[in-house]
Copies of this chain bind each other. A is one copy, B any other.
Amino acid sequence: MTIGIVGAGQLGRMMALAGYPLGLDFLFLDKDAGTCAAQLSPQLTGAFEDPKLLDQLAKRCEVVTIDWENVPVASMERIARTTPVAPPLAALAAAQDRLSEKSLFHSLGIPTNDHQAVDSREDLLRAVQAIGLPGVLKTRRMGYDGKGQAVLRKASDVESAWASLGSQPLIYEAFVPFDYEVSIIGVRSTRGEIALYPLNRNLHRDGILRLTRAPWHAPVVEAAARRYMRKLLAHFSYVGVLTVEFFVRRGKLVANEMAPRVHNSGHWTIEGAVTSQFENHVRAVLGLPLGDTSVTGHSAMLNLIGEMPTREGLLSDGRLHLHDYGKSPRPGRKLGHVTLLETTARRRDQRAATLLRKIDARKL
Protein backbone atom coordinates (compact mmCIF):
# COMPACT_ATOMS: atom_id res chain seq x y z
CA MET A 1 0.00 0.00 0.00
CA THR A 2 1.58 3.28 -1.13
CA ILE A 3 1.02 6.77 0.26
CA GLY A 4 1.79 9.66 -2.07
CA ILE A 5 3.18 12.82 -0.50
CA VAL A 6 3.40 16.15 -2.33
CA GLY A 7 6.44 17.95 -0.96
CA ALA A 8 9.47 16.02 0.26
CA GLY A 9 10.83 17.98 3.21
CA GLN A 10 11.51 16.84 6.74
CA LEU A 11 7.81 16.42 7.49
CA GLY A 12 7.39 13.94 4.64
CA ARG A 13 10.60 12.22 5.65
CA MET A 14 9.32 11.73 9.19
CA MET A 15 5.97 10.46 7.84
CA ALA A 16 7.83 7.83 5.83
CA LEU A 17 9.96 6.87 8.84
CA ALA A 18 6.74 6.44 10.84
CA GLY A 19 4.93 4.58 8.08
CA TYR A 20 7.57 2.04 7.09
CA PRO A 21 7.12 0.05 10.31
CA LEU A 22 3.43 -0.29 9.41
CA GLY A 23 4.49 -2.03 6.20
CA LEU A 24 3.62 0.94 3.98
CA ASP A 25 5.41 2.36 0.97
CA PHE A 26 5.81 6.01 0.01
CA LEU A 27 6.15 8.01 -3.18
CA PHE A 28 7.04 11.70 -3.09
CA LEU A 29 6.63 14.54 -5.57
CA ASP A 30 8.94 17.51 -5.27
CA LYS A 31 10.47 20.13 -7.54
CA ASP A 32 13.98 19.53 -6.17
CA ALA A 33 15.90 16.28 -6.60
CA GLY A 34 18.03 16.30 -3.45
CA THR A 35 15.24 16.41 -0.88
CA CYS A 36 15.54 14.93 2.55
CA ALA A 37 12.66 12.53 1.91
CA ALA A 38 14.25 11.28 -1.33
CA GLN A 39 17.12 9.93 0.75
CA LEU A 40 14.83 7.17 1.95
CA SER A 41 11.92 6.99 -0.49
CA PRO A 42 11.30 7.03 -4.22
CA GLN A 43 10.41 10.46 -5.61
CA LEU A 44 8.95 11.95 -8.78
CA THR A 45 10.86 15.13 -9.49
CA GLY A 46 9.26 18.09 -11.27
CA ALA A 47 6.85 20.98 -10.88
CA PHE A 48 3.96 20.64 -8.41
CA GLU A 49 1.73 21.66 -11.33
CA ASP A 50 3.03 19.06 -13.84
CA PRO A 51 -0.11 17.15 -14.92
CA LYS A 52 1.86 14.06 -16.00
CA LEU A 53 3.61 13.75 -12.65
CA LEU A 54 0.38 14.42 -10.76
CA ASP A 55 -1.39 11.71 -12.75
CA GLN A 56 1.47 9.30 -12.16
CA LEU A 57 1.37 10.00 -8.43
CA ALA A 58 -2.41 9.53 -8.35
CA LYS A 59 -2.14 6.25 -10.25
CA ARG A 60 0.58 4.72 -8.13
CA CYS A 61 -0.83 5.63 -4.71
CA GLU A 62 -3.81 4.56 -2.59
CA VAL A 63 -4.05 8.03 -1.08
CA VAL A 64 -2.15 11.29 -1.55
CA THR A 65 -1.29 13.79 1.17
CA ILE A 66 1.01 16.79 1.60
CA ASP A 67 4.07 17.82 3.55
CA TRP A 68 3.67 21.51 2.69
CA GLU A 69 0.49 23.57 3.00
CA ASN A 70 1.25 25.73 -0.03
CA VAL A 71 0.91 22.91 -2.55
CA PRO A 72 -1.36 24.31 -5.32
CA VAL A 73 -4.97 23.42 -4.59
CA ALA A 74 -5.49 22.83 -8.33
CA SER A 75 -2.84 20.09 -8.22
CA MET A 76 -4.57 18.33 -5.37
CA GLU A 77 -7.91 18.75 -7.17
CA ARG A 78 -6.49 16.97 -10.20
CA ILE A 79 -5.26 14.09 -8.05
CA ALA A 80 -8.60 13.95 -6.23
CA ARG A 81 -10.41 13.12 -9.49
CA THR A 82 -9.10 9.58 -9.25
CA THR A 83 -7.49 9.11 -5.83
CA PRO A 84 -8.46 10.09 -2.30
CA VAL A 85 -6.54 13.11 -0.99
CA ALA A 86 -6.03 14.41 2.54
CA PRO A 87 -6.35 17.00 4.00
CA PRO A 88 -9.68 18.06 2.40
CA LEU A 89 -9.20 20.64 -0.36
CA ALA A 90 -11.36 23.17 1.50
CA ALA A 91 -9.04 23.03 4.52
CA LEU A 92 -6.00 23.38 2.29
CA ALA A 93 -7.51 26.38 0.51
CA ALA A 94 -8.51 28.07 3.77
CA ALA A 95 -5.05 27.61 5.27
CA GLN A 96 -3.37 29.09 2.20
CA ASP A 97 -4.99 32.47 2.57
CA ARG A 98 -4.76 34.32 5.87
CA LEU A 99 -7.98 36.18 5.12
CA SER A 100 -10.03 33.03 4.45
CA GLU A 101 -8.48 31.45 7.51
CA LYS A 102 -9.50 34.33 9.79
CA SER A 103 -12.98 34.43 8.29
CA LEU A 104 -13.31 30.72 8.93
CA PHE A 105 -12.16 31.09 12.55
CA HIS A 106 -14.63 33.93 12.98
CA SER A 107 -17.52 31.95 11.50
CA LEU A 108 -16.82 29.05 13.87
CA GLY A 109 -16.64 31.29 16.93
CA ILE A 110 -12.89 30.90 17.30
CA PRO A 111 -11.45 34.21 18.52
CA THR A 112 -8.97 35.98 16.25
CA ASN A 113 -7.32 39.38 16.32
CA ASP A 114 -8.83 42.35 14.43
CA HIS A 115 -7.87 42.29 10.77
CA GLN A 116 -8.70 43.78 7.39
CA ALA A 117 -7.92 42.83 3.80
CA VAL A 118 -5.41 45.12 2.12
CA ASP A 119 -5.27 45.30 -1.67
CA SER A 120 -4.13 48.90 -2.09
CA ARG A 121 -2.25 51.64 -0.29
CA GLU A 122 -5.60 53.23 0.53
CA ASP A 123 -6.81 49.96 2.05
CA LEU A 124 -3.75 49.92 4.25
CA LEU A 125 -4.28 53.48 5.46
CA ARG A 126 -7.94 52.68 6.20
CA ALA A 127 -7.00 49.47 8.04
CA VAL A 128 -4.38 51.21 10.17
CA GLN A 129 -6.94 53.90 11.03
CA ALA A 130 -9.61 51.34 11.95
CA ILE A 131 -7.45 48.84 13.80
CA GLY A 132 -4.68 51.12 15.06
CA LEU A 133 -1.00 50.72 15.70
CA PRO A 134 1.00 48.64 16.34
CA GLY A 135 -0.09 46.11 13.72
CA VAL A 136 1.34 43.57 11.34
CA LEU A 137 1.03 43.67 7.56
CA LYS A 138 1.24 40.17 6.14
CA THR A 139 1.04 38.58 2.73
CA ARG A 140 -2.15 36.57 2.56
CA ARG A 141 -0.45 33.68 0.83
CA MET A 142 2.84 31.76 1.05
CA GLY A 143 3.97 33.15 4.40
CA TYR A 144 5.78 30.85 6.83
CA ASP A 145 8.46 31.05 9.53
CA GLY A 146 7.92 34.81 9.84
CA LYS A 147 8.49 35.48 6.14
CA GLY A 148 6.25 37.96 4.29
CA GLN A 149 5.53 40.12 7.34
CA ALA A 150 6.19 43.69 8.40
CA VAL A 151 5.48 45.16 11.82
CA LEU A 152 4.04 48.71 11.81
CA ARG A 153 4.75 50.61 15.00
CA LYS A 154 4.30 54.21 13.90
CA ALA A 155 2.47 56.02 11.10
CA SER A 156 5.63 56.43 9.03
CA ASP A 157 6.08 52.62 8.89
CA VAL A 158 3.09 52.44 6.53
CA GLU A 159 5.07 53.57 3.49
CA SER A 160 8.04 51.23 3.98
CA ALA A 161 5.77 48.26 4.72
CA TRP A 162 3.72 49.02 1.61
CA ALA A 163 6.88 49.38 -0.45
CA SER A 164 8.22 46.01 0.63
CA LEU A 165 5.01 43.93 0.46
CA GLY A 166 2.52 45.97 -1.60
CA SER A 167 2.55 43.98 -4.82
CA GLN A 168 0.35 41.12 -3.55
CA PRO A 169 -2.86 40.48 -1.59
CA LEU A 170 -2.26 41.48 2.02
CA ILE A 171 -3.90 41.50 5.40
CA TYR A 172 -3.43 44.02 8.18
CA GLU A 173 -3.78 42.56 11.67
CA ALA A 174 -3.82 44.11 15.10
CA PHE A 175 -0.64 43.34 16.98
CA VAL A 176 -1.65 40.92 19.72
CA PRO A 177 0.21 41.47 22.97
CA PHE A 178 0.42 37.97 24.37
CA ASP A 179 1.72 36.20 27.44
CA TYR A 180 2.77 33.07 25.59
CA GLU A 181 2.03 30.91 22.55
CA VAL A 182 0.50 27.45 22.38
CA SER A 183 -0.58 25.03 19.71
CA ILE A 184 -2.86 22.05 19.61
CA ILE A 185 -2.61 19.08 17.29
CA GLY A 186 -5.60 16.95 16.39
CA VAL A 187 -6.17 14.08 14.01
CA ARG A 188 -9.29 12.72 12.35
CA SER A 189 -9.43 9.56 10.26
CA THR A 190 -11.49 8.78 7.17
CA ARG A 191 -13.74 6.80 9.56
CA GLY A 192 -14.40 9.92 11.63
CA GLU A 193 -12.32 8.76 14.59
CA ILE A 194 -10.74 11.72 16.40
CA ALA A 195 -7.73 11.97 18.72
CA LEU A 196 -6.08 15.05 20.21
CA TYR A 197 -2.61 15.55 21.60
CA PRO A 198 -2.09 17.59 24.75
CA LEU A 199 -1.29 21.28 24.60
CA ASN A 200 2.11 22.49 23.34
CA ARG A 201 3.75 25.64 24.62
CA ASN A 202 5.86 27.20 21.90
CA LEU A 203 8.67 29.73 21.91
CA HIS A 204 9.45 31.49 18.63
CA ARG A 205 12.54 33.47 17.84
CA ASP A 206 12.89 35.59 14.68
CA GLY A 207 9.58 34.12 13.57
CA ILE A 208 10.87 30.53 13.72
CA LEU A 209 9.82 27.95 16.28
CA ARG A 210 12.69 27.43 18.67
CA LEU A 211 11.33 25.38 21.57
CA THR A 212 8.19 23.37 22.28
CA ARG A 213 7.31 21.93 25.66
CA ALA A 214 4.52 19.40 26.11
CA PRO A 215 2.33 18.56 27.81
CA TRP A 216 1.80 22.17 28.91
CA HIS A 217 -0.32 22.28 32.04
CA ALA A 218 -2.97 24.98 31.52
CA PRO A 219 -6.33 23.23 31.88
CA VAL A 220 -8.62 26.16 30.97
CA VAL A 221 -6.56 27.16 27.97
CA GLU A 222 -6.29 23.54 26.86
CA ALA A 223 -10.04 22.95 27.16
CA ALA A 224 -10.70 25.94 24.89
CA ALA A 225 -8.05 24.83 22.40
CA ARG A 226 -9.56 21.35 22.27
CA ARG A 227 -13.04 22.79 21.71
CA TYR A 228 -11.82 24.92 18.79
CA MET A 229 -9.88 22.00 17.32
CA ARG A 230 -12.98 19.82 17.38
CA LYS A 231 -14.99 22.54 15.64
CA LEU A 232 -12.45 22.74 12.83
CA LEU A 233 -12.16 18.96 12.44
CA ALA A 234 -15.94 18.67 12.27
CA HIS A 235 -16.37 21.64 9.91
CA PHE A 236 -14.15 20.13 7.23
CA SER A 237 -14.92 16.47 7.97
CA TYR A 238 -11.19 16.73 8.18
CA VAL A 239 -8.82 13.83 7.41
CA GLY A 240 -5.27 13.70 8.77
CA VAL A 241 -3.41 15.83 11.28
CA LEU A 242 -4.45 19.46 11.81
CA THR A 243 -2.59 22.04 13.90
CA VAL A 244 -3.79 25.36 15.28
CA GLU A 245 -1.51 27.97 16.84
CA PHE A 246 -2.85 30.40 19.41
CA PHE A 247 -1.69 33.41 21.36
CA VAL A 248 -2.59 33.32 25.06
CA ARG A 249 -3.42 36.60 26.78
CA ARG A 250 -4.67 36.54 30.37
CA GLY A 251 -5.84 32.97 29.99
CA LYS A 252 -7.76 33.66 26.76
CA LEU A 253 -6.94 32.25 23.35
CA VAL A 254 -6.56 34.17 20.10
CA ALA A 255 -6.15 31.90 17.07
CA ASN A 256 -3.11 32.86 15.03
CA GLU A 257 -3.10 30.33 12.22
CA MET A 258 -3.76 26.74 11.31
CA ALA A 259 -1.60 24.25 9.44
CA PRO A 260 -3.46 21.43 7.66
CA ARG A 261 -0.63 18.98 8.32
CA VAL A 262 1.77 17.53 10.84
CA HIS A 263 3.56 20.35 12.61
CA ASN A 264 6.93 21.31 14.02
CA SER A 265 5.37 21.79 17.45
CA GLY A 266 4.39 18.08 17.38
CA HIS A 267 7.82 16.60 16.71
CA TRP A 268 8.16 15.69 20.38
CA THR A 269 5.42 13.08 19.85
CA ILE A 270 7.96 10.75 18.16
CA GLU A 271 9.38 9.83 21.55
CA GLY A 272 7.03 11.69 23.89
CA ALA A 273 3.70 10.13 22.92
CA VAL A 274 2.62 6.51 22.53
CA THR A 275 1.86 7.21 18.86
CA SER A 276 3.56 10.04 16.98
CA GLN A 277 1.72 12.69 14.95
CA PHE A 278 3.40 11.23 11.87
CA GLU A 279 2.14 7.70 12.45
CA ASN A 280 -1.33 8.99 13.31
CA HIS A 281 -1.46 11.08 10.14
CA VAL A 282 -0.61 7.98 8.11
CA ARG A 283 -3.18 5.91 10.00
CA ALA A 284 -5.82 8.61 9.55
CA VAL A 285 -5.47 8.98 5.78
CA LEU A 286 -5.67 5.19 5.34
CA GLY A 287 -8.67 4.81 7.66
CA LEU A 288 -6.71 2.66 10.10
CA PRO A 289 -7.54 2.86 13.81
CA LEU A 290 -5.78 5.83 15.41
CA GLY A 291 -3.02 5.22 17.92
CA ASP A 292 -2.99 6.36 21.53
CA THR A 293 -1.99 10.04 21.87
CA SER A 294 -1.09 9.79 25.58
CA VAL A 295 2.27 11.15 26.59
CA THR A 296 5.13 8.97 27.81
CA GLY A 297 6.70 11.76 29.87
CA HIS A 298 7.41 15.49 29.82
CA SER A 299 8.98 16.48 26.51
CA ALA A 300 10.92 19.42 25.18
CA MET A 301 11.75 19.76 21.48
CA LEU A 302 14.43 22.20 20.35
CA ASN A 303 14.90 23.09 16.71
CA LEU A 304 18.39 23.09 15.21
CA ILE A 305 18.45 26.09 12.91
CA GLY A 306 21.00 27.41 10.44
CA GLU A 307 23.93 25.27 11.48
CA MET A 308 24.14 21.88 13.13
CA PRO A 309 25.90 21.35 16.43
CA THR A 310 28.27 18.37 16.16
CA ARG A 311 26.71 14.93 16.28
CA GLU A 312 29.18 13.91 19.01
CA GLY A 313 28.32 16.95 21.10
CA LEU A 314 24.57 16.33 20.95
CA LEU A 315 24.81 12.58 21.50
CA SER A 316 27.17 12.95 24.46
CA ASP A 317 23.92 13.33 26.40
CA GLY A 318 22.87 9.68 26.10
CA ARG A 319 19.21 10.48 26.70
CA LEU A 320 18.84 13.08 23.96
CA HIS A 321 17.02 12.08 20.77
CA LEU A 322 18.56 13.56 17.64
CA HIS A 323 16.68 14.11 14.39
CA ASP A 324 19.01 15.31 11.65
CA TYR A 325 17.05 15.94 8.46
CA GLY A 326 20.08 15.46 6.22
CA LYS A 327 19.85 19.02 4.81
CA SER A 328 22.73 21.32 3.95
CA PRO A 329 23.16 24.26 6.37
CA ARG A 330 21.83 27.73 5.51
CA PRO A 331 21.00 30.65 7.84
CA GLY A 332 17.46 30.33 9.20
CA ARG A 333 16.98 26.84 7.79
CA LYS A 334 15.51 24.09 9.99
CA LEU A 335 18.16 21.37 9.83
CA GLY A 336 16.99 19.10 12.60
CA HIS A 337 15.65 18.93 16.11
CA VAL A 338 16.37 17.25 19.41
CA THR A 339 13.88 15.94 21.94
CA LEU A 340 14.41 15.35 25.60
CA LEU A 341 12.07 13.53 27.93
CA GLU A 342 11.85 13.92 31.66
CA THR A 343 9.74 12.53 34.48
CA THR A 344 8.55 15.96 35.65
CA ALA A 345 7.75 19.24 33.90
CA ARG A 346 10.15 21.07 36.18
CA ARG A 347 13.12 18.87 35.27
CA ARG A 348 12.21 19.12 31.61
CA ASP A 349 12.11 22.91 31.76
CA GLN A 350 15.48 23.10 33.49
CA ARG A 351 17.13 20.66 31.11
CA ALA A 352 15.63 22.40 28.07
CA ALA A 353 16.86 25.80 29.27
CA THR A 354 20.39 24.50 29.79
CA LEU A 355 20.42 22.80 26.39
CA LEU A 356 19.07 25.89 24.62
CA ARG A 357 21.85 27.99 26.16
CA LYS A 358 24.48 25.49 25.06
CA ILE A 359 23.17 25.35 21.50
CA ASP A 360 22.95 29.14 21.32
CA ALA A 361 26.51 29.46 22.63
CA ARG A 362 27.65 26.82 20.08
CA LYS A 363 29.04 24.73 22.86
CA LEU A 364 27.86 21.47 21.32
Please list the residues of chain A having a beta carbon within 8 angstroms of any beta carbon in chain B: 13, 16-17, 20-23, 25, 39-41, 274-275, 283, 288-292, 296, 308, 311-312, 315-316, 318-319, 321-326, 336, 341
Residues of B within 8 A of A283 (CB): 315
Q: Which chain B positions have C-beta within 8 A of A292?
A: 318-319
Among B13, B22, B318, the residue within 8 A (CB) of A275 is B318
Instruction: With CB as the reference atom, state the residue of chain B lying closest to A40.
Output: B40
Per CB-CB distance, the 7 closest pairs between chain A and chain B, nearest first, are A23-B324, A292-B318, A289-B315, A21-B323, A292-B319, A289-B316, A291-B318
Closest Cβ–Cβ distance, residue A287 to chain B (whole Å): 9
What residues on B are CB-neighbors of A39 within 8 Å? 20, 25
State whether A322 and B17 are in contact (beta carbons under 8 Å apart), knowing that A40-B40, A315-B289 are contacts in the complex: no
Q: How many copies does the complex hold?
A: 2
Neighbouring B residues of A316 by C-beta, 8 Å: 289
Most-contacted residue by chain B among A41, A316, A318 (CB, 10 A):
A318
Residue contacts A-B, CB under 8 angstroms, 12 given: A13-B20, A20-B39, A20-B40, A21-B321, A21-B322, A22-B311, A22-B315, A22-B324, A25-B39, A25-B326, A274-B318, A292-B319
Complex Cα distance A313/B72, Å? 36
The answer to whether B17 touches A21, judged by C-beta atoms less than 8 angstroms apart, is: yes
For the complex, what is the distance from the CA of A17 to the CA of B325, rounded to whole Å? 13
6 more contacts with CB within 8 A, not counting A13-B20, A20-B40, A22-B311, are: A17-B17, A23-B308, A25-B39, A275-B318, A291-B319, A296-B296
